[in-house]
């Protein structure tokens, strides 16, 4: 479904992605891990066309999106959905207006959009009365669910999540992870999650690690706790001594 080859992106002289290669199969649930500042979110933004790389290719369903712009890029990325780290809800709009914003802005009548929004809000485990609330009336976990409901309005075949459990307590974190997995199975969507939380491995098919601008290892989530890769082993076990801290101090 996604094939990345030689992807490079710099900010000034700092290479965030540096010749990165990665293949993601159709229907795969992939979690990408890596230390803070490694460029995981920048990688997602390149996949979504929000940032342009200096070089390389991003094939989505066989089409290289890197050279595309405007309507051609938008058309190709219609099959993709992006769930922002902090939901990115607009405070001045109701939950209904946030969820249905793309449809409403295109001129579709609210009475047509509302049943679709209701279906999506119920699929993420919230009741219909939430549609008339505003973001500042919601908990952090509810905002995450509303952000996902907005993404589901587009019936995506690929869903990108940027740190979906940041700021949540352990119980809410588990509920969100379960929601991600159930959404993955219900929509048969290829799922790519950026996360620091190793508890998501239970719900993932595979895990890849980003380090110094490259994917240095990818392995099935079932085998990841017994991996021979020293970088991943240090990261997931939270060890203070290893190759990560040998090359980069806090």
pLDDT for 87? 73
**Which of the four pLDDT bands, split at 50, 70 and 90, describes residue 248?**
low
pLDDT for 203? 94
Q: Tell me the pTM.
A: 0.88
pLDDT for 247? 59
**Which of the four pLDDT bands, split at 50, 70 and 90, describes residue 28?**
very high
Q: Provide, rounded to the nearest whole percent, the portion of the chain with pLDDT above 70.
A: 98
pLDDT for 246? 64
pLDDT at 250 over 50: no
Closest CA to 145 of 132, 127, 157, 158: 127
Give pLDDT tens digits for 179-216.
899 999 988 999 999 998 899 999 999 999 999 999 99
The structure tokens 């290479």 sit at 15
pLDDT at 249 over 70: no
pLDDT at 152 over 80: yes
Q: Are 158 and 1 in contact (CB under 8 A)?
A: yes
Q: Could you give the CA distance from residue 224 to residue 152 in angstroms, rounded to a whole number?
A: 30
Residues 86, 120, 199: CA angle, nearest 5 degrees: 50
Work out whether strand 190-194 and strand 206-211 pair parallel, antiparallel, or are unpaired.
unpaired
* 223-228 average pLDDT score: 91
Q: Could you give the CA distance from residue 70 to residue 72 in angstroms, rounded to a whole number?
A: 6
First to last CA, the chain: 37
Closest CA to 149 of 131, 129, 167, 166: 131
Q: Are 185 and 173 in contact (CB under 8 A)?
A: no
Give pLDDT tens digits for 61-114.
999 999 998 999 988 888 898 888 767 889 999 999 999 998 998 899 999 999
**Which of the four pLDDT bands, split at 50, 70 and 90, describes residue 8?**
very high
* 16-39 average pLDDT score: 93
The structure tokens 């066989």 sit at 62
pLDDT at 144 over 90: no
């Amino acid at each position: 479904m996604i094939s990345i080859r030689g992807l490079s992106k710099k900010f000034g002289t700092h290479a965030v992605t540096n010749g990165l290669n990665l293949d993601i199969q159709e229907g795969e649930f992939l979690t990408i891990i890596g230390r803070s500042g490694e460029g995981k979110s920048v990688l997602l933004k390149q996949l979504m066309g929000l940032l342009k790389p200096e070089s390389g290719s991003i094939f989505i369903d066989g089409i290289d999106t890197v050279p595309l712009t405007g309507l051609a890029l938008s058309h190709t990325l219609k099959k993709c959905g992006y769930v922002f780290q902090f939901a990115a809800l607009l405070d001045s709009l109701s939950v209904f207006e946030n969820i249905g914003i793309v449809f409403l802005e295109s001129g579709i009548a609210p009475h047509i959009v509302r049943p679709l929004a209701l279906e999506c809000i119920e699929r993420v485990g919230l009741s219909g009365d939430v549609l008339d609330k505003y973001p500042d009336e919601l908990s952090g976990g509810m905002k995450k669910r509303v952000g996902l409901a907005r993404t589901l309005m587009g019936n995506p075949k690929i869903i990108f999540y940027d740190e979906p459990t940041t700021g949540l307590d352990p119980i809410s974190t588990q509920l969100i992870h379960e929601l991600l997995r159930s959404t993955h199975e219900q929509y048969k969507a290829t799922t790519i999650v950026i996360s620091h939380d190793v508890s998501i491995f239970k719900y993932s098919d595979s895990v890849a690690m980003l380090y110094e601008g490259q994917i240095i290892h990818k392995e099935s989530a079932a085998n990841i706790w017994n991996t021979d890769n020293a970088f991943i082993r240090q990261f997931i076990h939270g060890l203070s001594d290893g190759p990560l801290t040998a090359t980069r101090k806090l």
